[in-house]
Amino acid sequence: MSSAEHLTEKERQRVVVLTDILTRLHRGATPESVQTEFDQHFQGISAIEISLMEHQLIENDDNDITFEDVMKLCNVHANLFKNRVTEAGGTSEFEKHGHPVHVLKSENQAMRAAMMRINRLLQKLDGADVESGIIKGLGNQLRLLGQFEQHYQRKEEIIFPVMEKYGHLAPPKVMWGVDDQIRGLFQVVLDELAQVETKGVAAVKESFTAFQHEFNEMIFKEESILIPLVLEVFNEDDWIAIALDSKQYGYAIVEPEEEWIPNRVDFSESVTSDKLKEDKQVQDKAETLTIDQLPRDKELPFGQGYLTLNEVGKILDLLPLELTFINKNDVFKYFNDSIPDEEKAFLRAPSAIGREVKNCHPPKSLAMVLQLIEDLRNGVKDKEQMWFERQNGQFIHVTYVAVRDDDGSYMGILEYVQDIQPLRALTGMKRGLD
Amino acid sequence: MNNTIDFTVPVYTVIKEHPELKGILVEFGFKPLTDPAMLNTAGRLVNLNQGAKKIKADVNVLAQQLEWNGYDVKGVENV
């Protein structure tokens, strides 16, 4: 990717300033204290350039800068862009209904409107006796706003992988961390609302104000930094895949009114091959996975018997488990499709196939995931199990097991996930037919 | 970002601008709204005032429900 030798003197200067600012944040300086200096040096610099610089600094080992520092810089960053937001003229693809960018923006608008309604209700509750009708309405509106989860999930699970594919590793990581903070703040609001009768409206109000501030900042970051950045780097095939994958995650408050049909469906050959070169690593992986040439009905030796490829596929999709496989290089390679999406404990997107597993997790659980992978790889463990209850009544049991070849060499990790609530609920016996 | 609900425009238009209202309206008694075909036909002909009358509900109660959900209302016709 971009290496230091290609930088001009000016660019090198900027990297020095950015390093200095981030180092100060790392040592505890407040974001406000660096705003002026940041504005001065980064006025007119595109979001991509700044994110690339941040990326380099995180990856670079000769400084202490972590992505948590970049996260602190996020607001500073956004403030600069607030002062010079420019709108492009003409109707582009992304301004059309159903285009993933249009969908994101419509959702943001609907969520802003929901926040206004919530504020109004909180104001109405001020001073007055707690009116149960308004509390119910407030609950309605918060539940509605809670659909931001779908918006965040689409961003994290579908858009971030494509950004990573193009080498933008830092912005997704940083944003995902902030998303998780916002999720936490929202949960506090819900908890306060549940206790409104004993603790009063003030606590709800206070928690909502805290949430709203960060939430609005995120909307701004999405629209002024994330969207311009991805519009510059994603091609139309990427957007088509994103639009397609979006459906299974669902939408926040507003659904796309129509399907986006791009003017040009086929991405031209030459451009595609350029992209392929750029993206060679992932493509190479994909090529070794290609099985189109293999006869689907040829008997192949499996275990103690024989199966055709066709039979293998059908059987894997019938096992009552969510199966996920990552290979020895930590690349997400396979998931089966036997459980309906709405019942899945962990939704997977086809577009995430080929993605490195370290990029598939929110920062807060990453350390645990990497530890687990290392332990399974090195044989410290062969298996790890976890279980938890979900709000929908499911009792999820998760197993991670190391897959090893006959000679013991590590091949990857198989994850299998099952809702065991129906099994836990069994009593007595049933020995006849239905 | 308009949070005002106009009781004199067709229900279809109201839902188009505020898709999130559908749940509240259905809960209030506008059951046919769950059927997209009904929304597309009757929904284009009937406004909230007329709709409330059709299902024999008090339009003022509906207005209050919406206000309790943070909306402004306008054009509510008292019977």
pLDDT in tens, A389-416: 988 899 999 999 999 999 999 999 999 9
A209 has a pLDDT exceeding 70: yes
A97 has a pLDDT exceeding 90: no
Min distance B13 CA to chain A CA atoms (Å): 14
Top mean-pLDDT range of A222-226, A263-267, B34-38, B49-53? B49-53
Min distance A113 CA to chain B CA atoms (Å): 5
List chain B domain ranges: 4-68
What is the model's pLDDT at position A1?
41
Which residues from chain B sit within 8 angstroms of residue A136, using beta carbons? 68
Residue pLDDT, tens place only, A328-381 = 988 888 999 999 988 898 888 877 788 778 777 766 677 888 999 999 999 999
Which of B1, B65, B70 has its CB closest to that of A121? B70
CA distances from A368 to A92, A203, A354, A371 (A): 43, 34, 21, 5
Mean pLDDT of A282-311: 72
Which of B3, B19, B24 has its CB closest to that of A116? B3
A13 has a pLDDT exceeding 60: yes
Cβ of A140 within 8 Å of Cβ of B64? The answer is no
Return the percentage of chain B with pLDDT > 90, whole number: 66
A425 has a pLDDT exceeding 60: yes
Contact (CB, 8 A) for A81 and A47: yes
If we measure between CA atoms, which residue out of A325, A347, A318 comes closest to residue A156? A347
- A288-293: long-range contacts (C-beta < 8 A, 24 or more apart)? A289/A333
A48 has a pLDDT exceeding 70: no
Compute the Cα dihedral for A146, A238, A347, A359 and give only its sign: negative
Question: Diameter of chain B by CA atoms?
Answer: 31
Which residue carries 């407030």 as its tokens? Answer: A138
- What string of DSSP letters covers A216-248? HHHHHHIIIIIHHHHHHH--HHHHHHHHHHHHH
Min distance B17 CA to chain A CA atoms (Å): 10
Which residues from chain A sit within 8 angstroms of residue B1, using beta carbons? 109, 112-113, 116
A281 has a pLDDT exceeding 80: no
Cβ of B19 within 8 Å of Cβ of A253? The answer is yes
Return the percentage of chain A with pLDDT > 70, whole number: 82
Distance CA(A380)–CA(A200), nearest Å, equals 51
Which residues from chain A sit within 8 angstroms of residue B70, using beta carbons? 114, 116-121, 137-138, 141
Burial-class residue A386 by CB neighbours within 10 Å (0-12, 13-18, 19+).
exposed
Architecture of domain B4-68: Orthogonal Bundle (1.10)
Mean pLDDT of A116-144: 87
A266 has a pLDDT exceeding 60: no
Compute the Cα dihedral for B42, B47, B53, B59 and give only its sign: positive
Q: Where are the alpha helices (DSSP H) in A222-378?
A: 227-233, 236-249, 269-278, 280-289, 309-316, 363-378
* Pairing relationship of beta strands B4-6 and B72-74 according to DSSP bridges: parallel
Q: Which of A6-10, A281-285, A396-400 has the lowest mean pLDDT?
A: A281-285
Task: Provide the whole-model pTM.
Answer: 0.65
Mean pLDDT of A27-44: 82
Distance CA(A333)–CA(A324), nearest Å, equals 8
What is the model's pLDDT at position A279?
44
A274 has a pLDDT exceeding 90: no
For helices A67-82 and A201-221, give the axis angle rounded to 10 degrees.
80
**Chain B residues 13-52 with CB within 8 Å of chain A:** 19-20, 23-24
At A278, is the pLDDT very low, low, confident or very high (cuts 50, 70, 90)? very low
Which residue carries 């810089």 as its tokens? Answer: A73
Chain A interface, best mutation among B66, B69, B71, by max A CB count within 10 A: B69
A62 or A6: which carries more pLDDT confidence? A62
What is the model's pLDDT at position A275?
41
Distance CA(A265)–CA(A272), nearest Å, equals 13
Question: What rounded mean pLDDT belongs to chain A?
Answer: 82
Architecture of domain A93-249: Up-down Bundle (1.20)
At A128, is the pLDDT very low, low, confident or very high (cuts 50, 70, 90)? low
Helix (H) or strand (E) holding A301: strand A300-302
Cβ of A141 within 8 Å of Cβ of B69? The answer is yes
At A40, is the pLDDT very low, low, confident or very high (cuts 50, 70, 90)? confident
What is the model's pLDDT at position A35?
83
What is the model's pLDDT at position A105?
92
A4 has a pLDDT exceeding 70: no
At A7, is the pLDDT very low, low, confident or very high (cuts 50, 70, 90)? low
Single-letter code of the amino acid located at B1: M
Instruction: Classify B57 as helix, strand or coil.
Output: coil
Cβ of A136 within 8 Å of Cβ of B68? The answer is yes
Q: In chain A, whose CA is at the least distance from the CA of B72?
A: A117
What is the model's pLDDT at position A270?
35
Which superfamily does CATH assign the domain made up of A317-424 to? PAS domain (3.30.450.20)
Min distance B64 CA to chain A CA atoms (Å): 9
Residue pLDDT, tens place only, A132-184 = 889 999 999 999 999 999 999 999 999 999 998 888 888 888 899 999 999 99
A257 has a pLDDT exceeding 70: yes
What ipTM is given for this predicted complex? 0.91
Cβ of B2 within 8 Å of Cβ of A113? The answer is yes
Tokens of A367: 């350390």
What is the model's pLDDT at position A286?
45
Min distance A42 CA to chain B CA atoms (Å): 32
Q: In chain A, whose CA is at the least distance from the CA of B24?
A: A140
Question: Diameter of chain A by CA atoms?
Answer: 81
